[in-house]
Structures are given as C-alpha cells and as structure tokens.
Structure 1
C-alpha cells in the first residue's frame, strides 16, 4: 500500500529556481549569471510596451478610427505584443544585463 509520503516528490525536485519555476535541473547560481528580479523584468517590459503602444496608437489610430474599441485593441496588440516579445524586450534586457554586469565589476 502506498502512502502520501511515497507519492510526494523528493525535496530536491521541488526547489524553486531564481526565476520562480520549480524543477530538479536548475543551474547552480555559482556558474550562471545573476537572474534579473521580477521588478527589473517588469520595468524593462514596461519600458518596451509603453512606447510601442504610444507609437502604435499614433500610427494605427487613423486606420482604425471607425472600428469597435475591442477590434482596435485587437489590432494594436497584434502588432505590439510580437514586437515586444521577440524584438524589443530581449534587446532591452540584454542591454540592461550588460550595464548591470559592468557596474558590478
């Protein structure tokens, strides 16, 4: 007969990684670069999203003037989200991490 202790994962399998995910194969902090905090990631994401939304509203606004507000939001996010996720945020995060690494030397 199995007990609840038999079904519980070993403590090493539930340890949280610095990024907040759990797993047994987390890299050791001694060999990997410091992971940005959730606050740093939020700031970098906001620095990417705000200008993209402002520019998107300015550029796409006249084209979507007669659209329902939900469709305008859909059109804007179809442009802004992929740009932010695949282009702007990775570049800003790389620049930020480079600056942070230089300042810690």
Structure 2
C-alpha cells in the first residue's frame, strides 16, 4: 500500500525547504551572469534553473525522506 500524501501544510514546508536554499544558491551562483540584467530577466533565469531542480530532484527526495520518517514506529500521528 503506498504511503498517504503528507498534509498540505507539510507539503508547503517541504516545498519551502527545497526552494529557499536553491534560490539562495542560485542567486549567488548566477549573480555574475545576471547582475547587469533587468530584475524580471534575472528572475526568469533564476526560476528556469531552480524550479526544475526543485521539482525533479529536491522535492521528491524530501518527500521520500518524509515518508521514511512518518513510517518509523516512534513517529507521532
């Protein structure tokens, strides 16, 4: 039986835990490239990099970690 999806609040926290560090790293890593560009263009470039990494790599990893933690016998319900 597949694990139940976490609550919307837990999914929001997991998403934030994925996005926040990626945005910080993306801003630092892309700053030499996007510093002189308009804000909208630099935000576009940042999101083109961050969103796929979050959706395809980081969020699935965090959801699997959450499922492992939730299945532990001593996990609170």
Aligned to 1:93: 63
Give the drift of 1:32. Answer: 4.3
Deviations 1:48-71 (A, max 9, x none): 000000000000012111101000
Give the drift of 1:77. Answer: 0.2
Task: Count residues in correspondence.
Answer: 74
CA distance in structure 2 between the partners assigned to 1:93 and 1:33 by the alignment:
10
TM-score w.r.t. length of structure 2: 0.90
Alignment of 1:5-84 (within 5 A): 31-84=1-54
Segments of 5+ residues of structure 2 without an aligned counterpart are none
Q: Which runs of 4+ in 1 moved over 3 A?
A: none
Structure ranking higher on relative contact order (CA contacts 8 Å, 6+ apart): 2
Task: Give RMSD over aligned pairs.
Answer: 1.2
TM-score w.r.t. length of structure 1: 0.67
CA distance in structure 2 between the partners assigned to 1:39 and 1:69 by the alignment:
31
The structure with the largest alpha-carbon Rg is 1
Segments of 5+ residues of structure 1 without an aligned counterpart are 1-30
